[in-house]
Chains A and B, each alone.
Chain A
Amino acid sequence: MTQRILLTGNGAAAWGARLARSDYIPAFPITPQTEIIESIAAWVEQGEMDARLVTLESEHSMVTAAGAAAATGVRVFSATSSQGLLYAMEMLYTVAGWRAPFVLVNVSRGLSAPITLEPDHNDILAARDSGFLQLHCATCQEVLDSVLLAFRLAEDRRIRLPVIVNLDGFYLSFTREPVNLPDLGSVDSFLPPFDPENIRFRASAPISQAVAVLGGSPYSYFRYETHLAALHGLGVYDEIACDFARTFGRRHPAVESYRMDDAQWAFVMIGSFATKAREAVDRLREIGWRIGLIRPRLLRPFPVSTLRHLCSGLRGAAVIDQNLSIGFGGVLHGELCAALYGETKAPRTLVSFIGGLGGRDISDEEFFEMAAVVRRAADAGQTPAPRLLYTEDELRELRTLQAVAHSERNDLGARSKTT
């Protein structure tokens, strides 16, 4: 029977791993993810979860162990954040190449330098091309559900790739929301035991995995094969999401669209800040805007045709990136432009906004302003350069911090000269 309880995003991720009957949890602590492995460790110690949790000495080793265990045929769950994900980056590419299916939760956090604890999406987007599929969550319920969906997706024999489930640090990881906890029986019927088929190490059936290749031809073949498997994920995801809706009564489409039916304008963004965009849509609708929200949940494989369909006929859209590709701009903006280029009914105006870096808030007023900028741009027929969201108040506060820094430095300099 379904239970409704208050859970943090981290708690929801841990429950997802538990309900999925994960066999093996290679772990390494990092803020803001740590609560996930602490929860699982407690369950394992108390005998409430039949799994083995092993703390490795780094995320690089953690992902290696995760991939190796998945390649031996057990169900593997792991979690990390930010610097940890980047420390493991070599192995993200490697274990995806092994075609080792497992689920890794990333609790997004801005990257150093400067070092911070608060969220943005540069960490997860650094893994964009690794071969891991990616699911992006906006609510705690979605985190739990996505972990279950991710195991089905990863283990599907048409795919066989690891999957990252992403949630935003602090905004989701430490925020309590009511979450429907599915009963184990339903989860078991939705997610049967992992069948490793031929990907496994057994004495009676020796195999070599991840061997070297000589030359570009075999290399290209295996890379193409992995890419095509990831693309299968689009159709397979839809199947799995339907099955999930039938089993649990909750729909999690590859792309969430909110009030898009008659929309002329849209916000496009991923992650928990999209709930703010949703709120802004309602407010703008009240004053007569035909505006909606497009929120890709599945980012790899990239749901190109769904996005084309949703954007078809729009006059303009604000693409809000909670990341910054230094020297380029917003990653999602670039990807959406690529998806829509050449489509006859694609919106002429896609304006790029960078916001929410390092947990910086995006206020209602900023959403309204972004909508207005898009409208003016569409009317003028000219797309403005990407906007880096920052308010006058913020700048004033930063100037104060700078003044303090300068005065401290001068003060210190004066003192060191006198001694």
Chain B
Amino acid sequence: MNDTAFRRMKDLPSTHLLGTGTPMCAGCGGLEALHQIYDVLGERTVFVNAAGCMTLLSVYPFTPFRGSWLYAAMASAPAGAQGIRDALDILLAHGRIRTEDDLQPVVLTGDGAAYGMGLSATSGAIERNLDFLYICYDNEGYGNTGQQYSAATPHAARTSTSRGVHGYAGEKKDLFAIWAAHRPAYVATVVGAEPLDLARKVETAKRLTGPRLIIALAPCPTGWDFDPQDAVAIGKLAVKTGIWPLKEYRDGQIRHTKMPHPRLPVEGYLKRQGRFAHLFAPQRNEKLLREIQSGVDRYWQQLEGIRAAPGGGGACT
């Protein structure tokens, strides 16, 4: 189902709005996604930012944004969006500004704020039916401080605070489900490596009103330990191995927008990243590899009905 104008790659915006020369790392998957998102959203936006890597996008006296920007704090960017939206509504209602001066508040945070400290503020904003867009760039750890594990870190990943042979003991929190449980107007997952899917979702979100929330998986060369030139390939593998399901929630329904056919073994994704190197050397950690693969298998099997082939790849054809 695609009711946007983005039918094929050549329909994507050819002019790019976000300025270059930011202090983001080479190969930043978050910036890759933000570029594409901004091209669709446009400049009649005010980005409300929480502490994270992208706080460094706007460093005095420079900004890559053609629209507006407000840095709030780590926990309360959605409340900043609330204040701006409410103020604009008041000004519009009284005719104190022209309708052309209206702006769309866009919360921009990393996973540290989205999955943890800012969750209460996000929950509050959704429950108040705030008309805003939330973009989370999810690099699966506190990236700006050197990739300590966060609530978004996947099982077994090595981070600065999980350096042992088993990596991170916890499981990645299902933020999509938490957000969707609030029954907002729209929730979606995207990745910069799938630009058509991303553009369609951002365009869909742009047209709706109410709370709209998008999680962009952000392959992170420095945090995940891979060569910056592999960022797109790793993003694509995240989708093809089924570890990052591309989906959207709307009108009470969850729909997957890209089914991985055939679904590749998750090993192919893990092997490309230094944060999972301890699973392969000095010897293979079969137990952890099995845990990760079966976690992915369970997800898709539950989705498609139980199938006979556990483990391995290509279970869902």
- Which A residues contact B (CB, under 8 angstroms)? 23-24, 26, 52, 54, 56-58, 60-62, 64-74, 90-91, 94, 98, 201-204, 206-214, 218
Given A52-B89, A54-B128, A208-B58: A203 touches B101 (CB 8 Å cut-off) = yes
Q: How many residues of B contact A (CB 8 A)?
A: 48
Contact indicator A64/B79 (Cβ below 8 Å): yes
Q: A64-B72, A201-B84 are in contact. List 13 more A-B contacts (CB 8 A).
A: A52-B89, A56-B82, A61-B79, A65-B80, A68-B83, A68-B84, A72-B83, A72-B88, A73-B91, A94-B73, A201-B70, A203-B44, A208-B68
Q: Which of B97-130 contact A (CB under 8 A)?
A: 97-98, 100-103, 120-121, 123-124, 127-128
Chain B's closest residue to A58 (CB) is: B120
Q: Which of B63-93 contact A (CB under 8 A)?
A: 63, 65-73, 75-84, 86-91
Contact indicator B87/A74 (Cβ below 8 Å): yes
| Interface assignment of B178: CB less than 8 Å from any CB of chain A | no
Given A62-B79, A69-B84: A204 touches B101 (CB 8 Å cut-off) = yes
Contact indicator A60/B75 (Cβ below 8 Å): yes
Pick from A60, A94, A201, A213: contact of B60, CB below 8 A: A213
Q: In the assembly, what is the distance between CA of A296 and CA of B70, in Å?
A: 36
User: Inter-chain contact count A-B, CB under 8 Å?
Assistant: 151
Q: List 16 A-B contacts (CB under 8 A).
A: A23-B90, A24-B83, A58-B124, A61-B78, A64-B80, A64-B82, A68-B83, A70-B87, A73-B87, A90-B73, A94-B73, A201-B84, A203-B102, A206-B43, A209-B68, A210-B71
Q: Which of B32-49 contact A (CB under 8 A)?
A: 43-44, 46, 48
Contact indicator A60/B90 (Cβ below 8 Å): no
- Residues of chain A contacted by B103 (CB below 8 angstroms): 201-203
| Interface assignment of B59: CB less than 8 Å from any CB of chain A | yes
Contact indicator B63/A211 (Cβ below 8 Å): yes
Main SS at interface, chain A: mixed
CB distance from A413 to the nearest CB of B (A): 39
- Residues of chain B contacted by A70 (CB below 8 angstroms): 83, 87
Chain A's closest residue to B55 (CB) is: A212
- Residues of chain A contacted by B68 (CB below 8 angstroms): 201, 206-209
Contact indicator B70/A210 (Cβ below 8 Å): yes
- Most chain A beta-carbon neighbours within 10 Å: one of B59, B60, B87: B87
Q: In the assembly, what is the distance between CA of A204 and CA of B99, in Å?
A: 11
Pick from B71, B89, B127: contact of A211, CB below 8 A: B71
Contact indicator B71/A26 (Cβ below 8 Å): no
Given A68-B70, A69-B87, A71-B70: A218 touches B76 (CB 8 Å cut-off) = no
Contact indicator B65/A52 (Cβ below 8 Å): no
| Interface assignment of B56: CB less than 8 Å from any CB of chain A | yes
Q: In the assembly, what is the distance between CA of A58 and CA of B97, in Å?
A: 30
Contact indicator B87/A68 (Cβ below 8 Å): yes
CB distance from A134 to the nearest CB of B (A): 22
CB distance from B25 to the nearest CB of A (A): 16
Contact indicator B72/A52 (Cβ below 8 Å): no
Q: In the assembly, what is the distance between CA of A256 and CA of B98, in Å?
A: 46
CB distance from B103 to the nearest CB of A (A): 5
Given A90-B73, A208-B68: A213 touches B91 (CB 8 Å cut-off) = no
Query: Can you list the 5 inter-chain pairs with the closest CB atoms, starting with the nearest?
Result: A68-B83, A57-B124, A61-B79, A72-B87, A65-B83
